[in-house]
Amino acid sequence: EVQLVESGGGLVQPGGSLRLSCAASGFTFSSYWMSWVRQAPGKGLEWVANIKQDGSEKYYVDSVKGRFTISRDNAKNSLYLQMNSLRAEDTAVYYCARDPGGALKRTDYFDYWGQGTLVTVSS
Amino acid sequence: DIQMTQSPSTLSASVGDRVTITCRASQSISSWLAWYQQKPGKAPKLLIYKASSLESGVPSRFSGSGSGTEFTLTISSLQPDDFATYYCQQYNSYSGITFGPGTKVDIK
């Protein structure tokens, strides 16, 4: 069974940093593109970043470029999001999500999602 | 960037109703569109990809259609488990991945 379990969320002051983790199981993690998607309280979904199987390609939404860094450790079956210079507008539930393309391609939609971790940026 | 809109924003319906949600893209995205269902406090669930392909395990009362800039999600006979918020998502371009604002389906 595919499982994605996020952790690392919490309350942080504006300008602060936080590192999110996503532990993957039930599939060959190293064969899939992975993404972070966020959802502000009561709002819609926003794709944040994704990363290629070997970490050699990474893409970000404009609003987080230069502040957030996506990474992965295939030996640990884990995905990460380092978030620096946090702003109030970064407050959201952050989901990790799997791209179903597998080793052959990137599809850019998401077939499995974690339960999410809440990040609150407030003084 | 490609902007996505959905209509209506809220839809009130009864069990057994046929329900249609529309998603529009600001430019052509061919058939690169997915639909998700989200219930309160839960992660989104993939329903449809490539505009009309049903994800494995999703009931056949869900269907998707469209191409270019206009797409629809249809629920042929609304069930109690279907009351939720539905999002479309385009994945055509590398100007990014964008979601629609959502359509909440609630009980009439």
Per-residue pLDDT tens over the stretch A81-103: 999 999 999 999 999 999 999 88
Kindly list the residues from chain B whose CB atom is less than 8 angstroms away from the CB atom of residue A100: 49
- Those residues whose C-beta lies under 8 Å from the C-beta of residue A21, and which sit 6 or more positions away, are A6, A7, A8, A78, A79, A80
Residue type, A74: N
Q: Above 70 in pLDDT, residue B94? A: no
Summarize the confidence of residues B11-29 as an average pLDDT. Answer: 96
Q: Above 80 in pLDDT, residue B95? A: no
Task: Round to whole Å and give the CA distance between B42 and A16.
Answer: 27
Q: Do residue A110 and residue B102 have CB atoms under 8 angstroms apart?
A: no
pLDDT at position B93 is 64
Kindly list the residues from chain A whose CB atom is less than 8 angstroms away from the CB atom of residue B49: 100, 107, 109
- Give the closest residue to B85 by CA, choosing from A116, A44, A93: A44
- Those residues whose C-beta lies under 8 Å from the C-beta of residue A42, and which sit 6 or more positions away, are none
Q: Do residue A108 and residue B100 have CB atoms under 8 angstroms apart?
A: no
Tell me which chain B residue has its CA closest to the CA of residue A63. Answer: B96
Q: Do residue B91 and residue A107 have CB atoms under 8 angstroms apart?
A: yes
Report the mean per-residue pLDDT for chain A: 97
Could you tell me if residue A31 is left (phi over 0), alpha (psi between -120 and 50 degrees) or otherwise beta?
alpha
pLDDT > 90 in chain B, percent: 93
Find the angle CA(B52)-CA(A49)-CA(B64) to the nearest 5 degrees: 10
Q: Above 80 in pLDDT, residue B15? A: yes
> Nearest CA of chain B to the CA of A38: how many Å?
10
**In this structure, what token pair is assigned to residue A2?**
């595919």
pLDDT at position B2 is 92
Per-residue pLDDT reduced to its tens digit, B96-106: 899 999 999 99
